[in-house]
Structure 1
Amino acid sequence: MNPETGKKLRAAAAAAAHRSAAEVATALMTAWHDSLSAPPCPVTGIDPLDTLMPGLLLPGRVTVVGARPAVGKTAIAMQIAEHVGVAHDTDVVIVSLEMMAESLARRHVVARAIAQGTPLRDPHLWRDEADSSAIADGIASWGQLPYLIIDQDRRRGAVQAAIIAAVLAVRERGRRVGVVIVDYLQQITDDGAATREREVGLASVMLAETAKSLGVAMLVLAQLNRASASAAEPRPPVITDLRDSGQIEQDADAVLLLHRPTQDGAAPQSSRPLARAAQIIVGKARHWGIEPGQTIEMEDRGLRWVPAESAPNKPAPSAARGNGIPGYGLPAIVAAGWLKPDPRTGMLELSDEIKGGDHGDW
């Protein structure tokens, strides 16, 4: 090797993005202590899902919600957005590539009227004067939501730039972003991609990298193909039904698949008016030790998903690692009260309840 080449290699090595184990340990220790005083991690507001997969909306994590058209991807995403924004007092960035912001607002008005027991007589055209009070209330409610909506440009680079700009704008105001919602992945375009699979794959990678670099949770909606519905015997969707690219599965921390069960070709109806039986199926759970296929029974009550009252929706025993520590992550352990700060040193120690019990070898 000539001296000049060696010099270039050494310069390249010096500039490489690497960290020692000690540097990682220091960063982890800092994050650990910061988490004790940080605001709680937002949850989806869907109780059985939050119990089964705690920390789903931790910063940097990407959750893909997949479903066939008209099953309820946007409805459940907007429901989660409202809970994260209102219950946790955080801002929500919504990248709406299928609907204009005004369409999302109209859906909110209709959903709110149904939830309050006063469904609109004319939910599509809003021409019935008897609906005026509910419509005005719904519009006022929408105007109070802490949303930043991106609905203009579908190009991959433009979508990424818009997300970054929105998150930075929120932080400049001294607020935090609870979640970024993308509706939906396959709508993002890239003129430089040679194939459709490549185009969707690049979009998936971009969203995952953006979530991690900004430190924000991301909820990405995705279309499923019709394989499960068009089979000789219709079946629930599986992760391989994600449309156009296997890259989506690789990039996601979690994949949730929405499904409406069928009986003789028709969706079974709930005993409640306006309610339809629905399911959230776990397709992937990178951090939770959950086997794919676990199902949460739900009801779709007109643009709002709620746990089915007839189903226990309890996670299976294998849903958590660590002999009963949900999610086995530090925030979950601290929140559960198993670790508590020592008043003298400030360091975390096992609580008295845990010290006195038999909890296996964890």
Structure 2
Amino acid sequence: MAFNIKKDLGNNRTRKPDLTTLVYGKVPPQANELEQAVLGAIMLEKDKLAEVLEIIMSADCFYVDAHQKIYGAIRRLFDKGMPVDLITVTEELRKSNDLEIVGGAFYLSRLTEHVISSAHVEAHARIVMEKFIQRELIRISGNVIADAYEDSTDVFDLLDKAESNLYEITDKHLRKNFKSLKEVLVRTVQDIEDAKNRKEDVTGVPTGFKSLDRITSGWQKNALIIVAARPAVGKTAFCLNLAMNAAMNSSKPFPVAFFSLEMGAGELVKRMLSATTEVSMDAVTKGRMQEHEFIQMTQRMTKLASAPIFLDDQAALNIFELRAKARRLKQRHDIQLIIIDYLQLMQADINKGGNREQEISKISRDLKSLAKELEIPIIALSQLNRSVESRKESKMPQLSDLRESGAIEQDADMVMFLYRPEYYGINNDEMGNPIEGETHINIAKNRSGQTDVVKVQFIKEFQRFIDLDTDDFNRGGTNGGGMQPGPHPGDNPQAAFRNRDVSNFGDSKMYLPGNFQTMPSKASQYDFSDEDDLTPPFKRPGSAPSSEDTPF
């Protein structure tokens, strides 16, 4: 009878594919004798266990069910700090009522008796691991085949799922080799020399705020940074400003990936347009802008159109999907910063028995692991507990206010809180001066430096944060920060961007969820070569702006 894969797999998506059917009746890849040799060697020589544990990290890697139970007992003994030998393993299996299932003490004894030499146990363990990976590839491929036959399947979601599942094998079962001290030392000295020769103080990705860069020296590699605040304080606007400051840095643009689980990509772009072009958010959203505002927006959007910012607005993103997308963006576009809005909306993909606190703990650990793997900083937004509202004393957020998990504080290299006094009805300082928009950035944890409070100004109308540095009027940040207005916009809203370099840097890049490609923004279809030439589509029928309406 012919093998009908569509009939066997497509009609029942919930059924686990039969591995033997998938390979046309062949027995799945396995190495039964080597599994026996590995288990026997472990029980004979205690020094061999450490070698095997570095290679085989899960009992599921064994094909024979009895061998899985035996290795599971060995792992439990090791975790409890107990010796591993024939007697202790036998007793551990007896406690778990698995001794008779695996074949009794007689079978365990046979495993040790048939070990001729344990000298090659590491090589044997690697073969066992390779066979497991082969079986996993068959399983994942079978699921992909089954889903691919379904007409309702989104092919891009399927690709993303397949990539996530493949990466999960690497993440859970394969470890990187050790690095020698010499290798790390050479690289570290090179980094120190580069920092010594650098004229500016920023050694990482610039924040765009001079006062913040003084404390952080920019966002550093391998760091997990948490930005937390109560709703409506301006977390998303702040992190969009961070993304633009990095990607539009005049001395060196830093590619940024922005994962938004709350807002759509269109809403994010509107906020960025308002911040960059200095046209009010209300006017951009409703499209009800003055003629000079429309001209101003079209003339000043060039740099935003060329910024290497990649947007992904997939809702309910899980950690494996994010990891797969981040790795792809790193390979293709060498992203230097990831921003996630926000952490509590992510899914952890752990067993359903776990509570939400355990999920958040896993997400924070995985984000820290991803930052180390890609060697880039990751900024994750986070919500705060409502307890901050009920405090009678200062409303300035504290580490204990982080929502749902103390693990966030533990895993993060830096924790920053945004606090706006006017959010709590405080509209004047001690001297009676108005403090509308004043925002305090409380660096409550900084693993690599000092903690402090930095003040910036939030211009809500434009969804833009500016530096309140008193040294000079370069409020766009240090090091050629991306959005660098001259005078304060409150002094002259039209003057802030007059002196900016608006040369065209090329196509913008927006990463569209599900499409698995980077696509140029529609803005790049228009000719910005002459910003004073208002040719279609920017020239409105019958419009003839006067010179006083033109901001440049």
TM-score class normalised by the smaller sequence: 0.7 to 0.9
TM-score (normalizing by structure 1): 0.72
Deviation at 1:258, TM superposition (A): 0.5
Deviation at 1:113, TM superposition (A): 3.4
- 1:91 corresponds to which letter in structure 2? P
Q: Which runs of 5+ in 1 are unaligned?
A: 172-176, 313-362
Q: Which runs of 5+ in 2 are unaligned?
A: 1-38, 56-174, 473-552
Matched with 2:245 is: 83
Task: Determine the C-alpha separation between the residues in 1 that align with 2:310 and 2:417.
Answer: 26
Q: Please point out which of 400, 403, 407 is paired with 1:240.
A: 400
The DSSP-based 3-state class of the residue aligned with 1:30 is: helix
CA contact (8 A) 1:67 1:222 kept: yes
Matched with 2:165 is: none
Task: Determine the C-alpha separation between the residues in 1 that align with 2:243 and 2:295.
Answer: 24
| Structure 1 pair 264–101 and aligned structure 2 pair: CA distance change class (3 A) | closer
Q: Please point out which of 188, 193, 210 is paired with 1:31.
A: 188
Matched with 2:261 is: 97
Matches within 5 A, 1:248-327: 248-262=408-422, 265-268=425-428, 275-288=436-449, 290-291=450-451, 294-302=452-460, 303-308=463-468
- 1:282 corresponds to which letter in structure 2? I
TM-score (normalizing by structure 2): 0.49
The DSSP-based 3-state class of the residue aligned with 2:389 is: helix
CA contact (8 A) 2:277 2:301 kept: no
Matched with 2:311 is: 149
- 1:5 corresponds to which letter in structure 2? M
- 1:65 corresponds to which letter in structure 2? V
Matches within 5 A, 1:25-64: 25-34=182-191, 36-37=193-194, 41-54=204-217, 56-64=218-226
Deviation at 1:262, TM superposition (A): 4.6
- Superposed CA RMSD: 3.1
Deviation at 1:134, TM superposition (A): 3.3
Deviation at 1:47, TM superposition (A): 0.8
The DSSP-based 3-state class of the residue aligned with 1:45 is: coil
Structure 2 residue 200 is matched with structure 1 residue 162: no
Q: Deviations over 1:127-169 (max 9, x none)?
A: 3353422343455443211111121151222122111111111
Matched with 2:114 is: none
Q: Deviations over 1:99-150 (max 9, x none)?
A: 1111111001112233xxx546624311335342234345544321111112
| Structure 1 pair 86–111 and aligned structure 2 pair: CA distance change class (3 A) | closer
Task: Determine the C-alpha separation between the residues in 2 that align with 1:10 and 1:199.
Answer: 30
Q: Please point out which of 196, 199, 203 is paired with 2:359.
A: 199
Q: Please point out which of 308, 332, 340 is paired with 1:182.
A: 340
Matched with 2:386 is: 226
Task: Determine the C-alpha separation between the residues in 2 that align with 1:251 and 1:266.
Answer: 33
Matched with 2:377 is: 217
CA contact (8 A) 1:62 1:219 kept: yes
Task: Determine the C-alpha separation between the residues in 2 that align with 1:311 and 1:234.
Answer: 29
Could you say which structure has the higher strand fraction?
1
| Structure 1 pair 57–278 and aligned structure 2 pair: CA distance change class (3 A) | same
Task: Determine the C-alpha separation between the residues in 1 that align with 2:360 and 2:427.
Answer: 31
CA contact (8 A) 1:60 1:214 kept: yes
Deviation at 1:249, TM superposition (A): 0.6
Q: Deviations over 1:59-100 (max 9, x none)?
A: 111111111111111112111211211212221111111111
Task: Determine the C-alpha separation between the residues in 2 that align with 1:93 and 1:221.
Answer: 14
Matches within 5 A, 1:114-153: 114=278, 119=280, 122-130=283-291, 131-137=293-299, 139-153=301-315
CA contact (8 A) 2:248 2:254 kept: yes
Task: Determine the C-alpha separation between the residues in 1 that align with 2:394 and 2:288.
Answer: 40
**43-52 vs 29-38, greater mean Cα deviation:** 29-38
Task: Determine the C-alpha separation between the residues in 1 that align with 2:424 and 2:357.
Answer: 34
Percent identical pairs in the alignment equals 26
The DSSP-based 3-state class of the residue aligned with 2:441 is: strand
CA contact (8 A) 2:319 2:349 kept: no
**11-20 vs 158-167, greater mean Cα deviation:** 11-20
Task: Determine the C-alpha separation between the residues in 2 that align with 1:264 and 1:133.
Answer: 38
Task: Determine the C-alpha separation between the residues in 2 that align with 1:181 and 1:120.
Answer: 22
Task: Determine the C-alpha separation between the residues in 2 that align with 1:34 and 1:113.
Answer: 37
Task: Determine the C-alpha separation between the residues in 1 that align with 2:393 and 2:338.
Answer: 36
| Structure 1 pair 17–110 and aligned structure 2 pair: CA distance change class (3 A) | closer
- 2:189 corresponds to which letter in structure 1? W
Matches within 5 A, 1:309-348: none
| Structure 1 pair 121–297 and aligned structure 2 pair: CA distance change class (3 A) | closer
Structure 2 residue 172 is matched with structure 1 residue 9: no
CA contact (8 A) 1:180 1:219 kept: yes
- 1:36 corresponds to which letter in structure 2? E
Q: Please point out which of 91, 107, 112 is paired with 2:271.
A: 107
Which structure is higher in RCO with an 8 Å CA cutoff and minimum separation 6? 1
- 1:180 corresponds to which letter in structure 2? I
Task: Determine the C-alpha separation between the residues in 2 that align with 1:208 and 1:264.
Answer: 33
Deviation at 1:203, TM superposition (A): 1.1
Deviation at 1:26, TM superposition (A): 3.5
Deviation at 1:17, TM superposition (A): 6.4
Q: Deviations over 1:144-196 (max 9, x none)?
A: 1111112115122212211111111113xxxxx22111111111013535211
- 2:410 corresponds to which letter in structure 1? Q
